[in-house]
Structure 1
Amino acid sequence: MTIRLENKLPPTPVAVKFRADLEELQRRLSAIPAQLADSPWAPGKWTRKQVVGHLLDSAANNRQRFVRASLDGVYAGPKYSQDLWVAAHGYADQSWEDLLQWWKVEHQILAAVVDRIAEDRLEAACTVGDNAPVTLQFLIEDYVEHQQWHLRQIDGKGPEGRQ
């Protein structure tokens, strides 16, 4: 097993795609006008600020999962209460510019973590809550899909998603 603490090995193809996907997400997220930030993406749903906040919460939770699975070769941990996390952080009261900056920084950190995951650790078994185990690679790829799903909600370029 190789841990890339100093990142002397090149990133895996999974890491390269992850970083490219995040760059595209950031570009699309930055294009959302600030005047829409306080508006719900659909009637009775979170505001765009709250959706971005939820994406920050997802990043924080997944960073723990990615790091633990890459270091320990396995991960088992809890789900989190999305609505309560969004409320606890008060994302609706934050500035749009701050939320976008936090998203950028959080994802720079997350990309650095994924860059350092050794190829053999991508097969690490990960169990979130009472869900069936999946591989770390699945968690990484599903993370991007989750970000894309919510971005389609708030930028108007896709179907309603899950909240």
Structure 2
Amino acid sequence: MGRIQGLMAPGPEEYKPYYERYIASVIGTDIDGMLDRQTAFIKAYYEKLDEERALKSYAPGKWTFKEVLGHLIDTEKVFHFRGVCIARDEKTFLPGFDQDKFVDSAGFNGMEKDLLIQSFELNRLSWACFMDSLREDDWQKTGLVDAHPMSLRAIAYILAGHMEHHIRLFQERYDAIP
């Protein structure tokens, strides 16, 4: 789609050190291609699950399939909001968020799996439309997120890398669930 092909990886001054593991998992500069492949993977992966299996986790106290998808949706909404604020030159401090509290209070296990899939796809489409609206120089803009500078290109890399992290967890841990 050409939204952000060739976007160079952000420098360490453009994000909180916590996010290094996500950014490091992005190979190459074809972020939009990566996001498209991830969206197709998640849709196909979840469509194969029945409602009973979608309520399982790989260990006690770990998130269920539904909760993981809900976490992905919420995380991308938070980062999309941060991206919009940064692109529009908002100078207000943007807070962090507690992913566990988000999941605990959301009730994802009570939602229909197909609604979660649809929400994920719409989130990704909304992010793609936002990226299409950006000018080349917007990608270097930064804001203050959780007391650290963060650039728009760091957000793009973090979103792609965060999803790669969860895809690996599906393959390493969730696929082994009986």
Q: Give the TM bin, normalised by the shorter chain.
A: 0.7 to 0.9
Report the counterpart of residue 162 of structure 2 in structure 1.
Answer: 146
**Structure with larger RCO (C-alpha < 8 A, sep 6+):** 2
Alpha-carbon offset, residue 114 of structure 1 = 1.2
Would you say how many aligned residue pairs link Structure 1 and Structure 2?
147
Question: Where do 4+ consecutive residues of structure 1 move more than 4 Å?
Answer: none
Whether 1:114 aligns to 2:131 is yes
TM-score (norm. length: structure 1): 0.79
Give the 3-state SS of the residue equivalent to 1:31 in structure 2: helix
Distance 1:114 1:158, change over 3 A: farther
Distance 1:48 1:87, change over 3 A: same
CA RMSD of aligned residues (A): 2.3
Give the 3-state SS of the residue equivalent to 2:55 in structure 1: coil
Distance 1:54 1:112, change over 3 A: same
Whether 1:34 aligns to 2:49 is yes
What pairs up with 1:39-118 in 2 under 5 angstroms? 39-72=56-89, 76-118=93-135
The amino acid across from 2:118 in the alignment is Q
Give the 3-state SS of the residue equivalent to 2:56 in structure 1: coil
**Matched-pair contact (CA < 8 Å) for 1:70–1:118:** no
Q: Which whole-Å CA distance do the structure 1 matches of 2:86 and 2:136 have between them?
A: 12
The amino acid across from 2:129 in the alignment is A
TM-score (norm. length: structure 2): 0.73
**Matched-pair contact (CA < 8 Å) for 1:73–1:121:** no
Distance 1:26 1:43, change over 3 A: same
For residues 6-42 of structure 1, the C-alpha deviation after alignment (integer angstroms, 9 at most, x for no partner) is: xxxx84434x933322221122112322133111144
Give the 3-state SS of the residue equivalent to 2:39 in structure 1: helix
Q: Percent identity?
A: 24
Q: Which whole-Å CA distance do the structure 2 matches of 1:126 and 1:41 have between them?
A: 37
Report the counterpart of residue 12 of structure 2 in structure 1.
Answer: none
Gaps of 5+ in 1: 1-9
Gaps of 5+ in 2: 8-28
Alpha-carbon offset, residue 119 of structure 1 = 1.2
